[in-house]
């Protein structure tokens, strides 16, 4: 598996976020030295929303922009996000689409470069989660509501590059709940298997070991992370337990979450002392008088 092609990378890599000068910052209060440059911020007393106590406004903001699962998607040269249609990330159908783990039942499909596209016949829904209109209303609403977007939602990623790009956003550190699903390329951390491949290097981003390790350095540095759920698909499993140990090694640096689950698709031994709970598939033992399919003989 070579990962994204050069064409795919050109389509996928988001444009860098513009560096907003301090005088154009959306967040209030405005430092006194910048008030003249930024212009006057109206008090919005004519608004019925702004006439409510702050506590009630915060409840409204959270209801509109928070307490959901946001599926982060790659688009051409930018990122997008879609609200999950299931009650929670755990109840959102997760399946294999022929290339990678995917939430197709919920939000669409992806091409070979993991670029999102709506499913055929579906009405194209906005890829901003229908949240931006509220945030763009005025500086006061933006300032009072923006933190709820990051701190109260579950952010779901099906692509490591998508997570890496999103980590550059200013409020990424406020995220508390993270859901990651990823298909591991077959020869990862297996020098013998990589030696058999005819390409050099054997693995290409984002399926290479450097991208995998950088991803977990990013996650380990998230200061407010409380819950992480990881779902990993690996077709043939690990030939050598040492290879699996090397793959799991970057995850040992993620120590902040109170709850850290790693679901894998292959069997193996238990991992003791890890900061995560490793959950393997349940293997049913063949009973006496039954074959492997459970048929009596």
User: How many angstroms separate the CA atoms of 101 and 185, rounded?
Assistant: 12
Highest mean pLDDT among 25-29, 32-36, 91-95, 101-105: 91-95
User: How many angstroms separate the CA atoms of 213 and 120, rounded?
Assistant: 36
Tens-place pLDDT, residues 140-161: 899 999 999 999 999 999 889 9
DSSP H or E run through 67? none
What one-character DSSP code corresponds to residue 290?
B
pTM of this structure: 0.81
Tens-place pLDDT, residues 222-273: 999 999 999 999 887 888 899 999 999 999 999 999 999 999 999 999 999 9
Buried-exposed string 13-33: b where 16+ CB fall within 10 A, e elsewhere: ebeeeeeeeeeeeeeeebeee
User: How many angstroms separate the CA atoms of 115 and 9, rounded?
Assistant: 10
User: How many angstroms separate the CA atoms of 115 and 295, rounded?
Assistant: 44
The DSSP-derived string for 148-170 is HHHHSSEEEES-HHHHHHHTTST
């Amino acid at each position: 598996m070579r990962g994204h092609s050069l064409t795919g990378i050109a389509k996928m890599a988001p444009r860098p976020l513009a560096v907003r000068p301090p005088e154009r910052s959306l967040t209030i209060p405005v430092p006194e030295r910048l008030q003249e440059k930024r212009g006057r911020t109206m008090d919005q007393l004519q608004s019925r929303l702004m006439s409510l106590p702050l506590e009630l406004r915060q409840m409204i903001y959270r209801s509109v922009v928070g307490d959901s699962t946001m599926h982060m998607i790659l688009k051409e040269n930018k990122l997008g996000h879609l609200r999950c249609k299931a009650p929670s990330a755990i109840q959102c159908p997760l399946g294999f689409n022929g290339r990678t783990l995917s939430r197709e039942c919920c939000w669409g499909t992806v091409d070979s470069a993991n670029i999102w596209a709506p499913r055929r016949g579906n009405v194209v829904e906005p890829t901003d989660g229908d949240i931006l209109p509220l945030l763009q209303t005025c500086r006061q609403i933006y300032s009072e509501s923006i933190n709820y977007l990051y701190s109260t939602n579950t952010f779901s990623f099906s692509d490591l590059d998508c997570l890496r790009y999103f980590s550059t956003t200013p409020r990424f550190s406020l995220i508390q709940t993270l859901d990651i699903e990823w298909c591991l390329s077959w020869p990862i951390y297996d020098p013998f298997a990589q030696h058999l491949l005819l390409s050099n290097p054997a693995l290409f981003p984002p399926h290479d070991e450097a991208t995998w390790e950088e991803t977990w350095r990013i996650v380990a540095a998230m200061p407010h992370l409380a819950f992480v759920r990881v779902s990993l698909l690996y077709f043939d499993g690990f030939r050598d337990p040492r290879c699996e140990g090397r793959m799991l090694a970057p995850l040992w640096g993620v120590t902040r979450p109170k709850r850290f689950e790693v679901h894998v698709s292959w069997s193996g031994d238990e991992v003791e002392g890890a900061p995560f709970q490793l959950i393997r598939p349940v293997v049913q033992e063949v009973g006496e008088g039954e074959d492997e399919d459970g048929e009596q003989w």
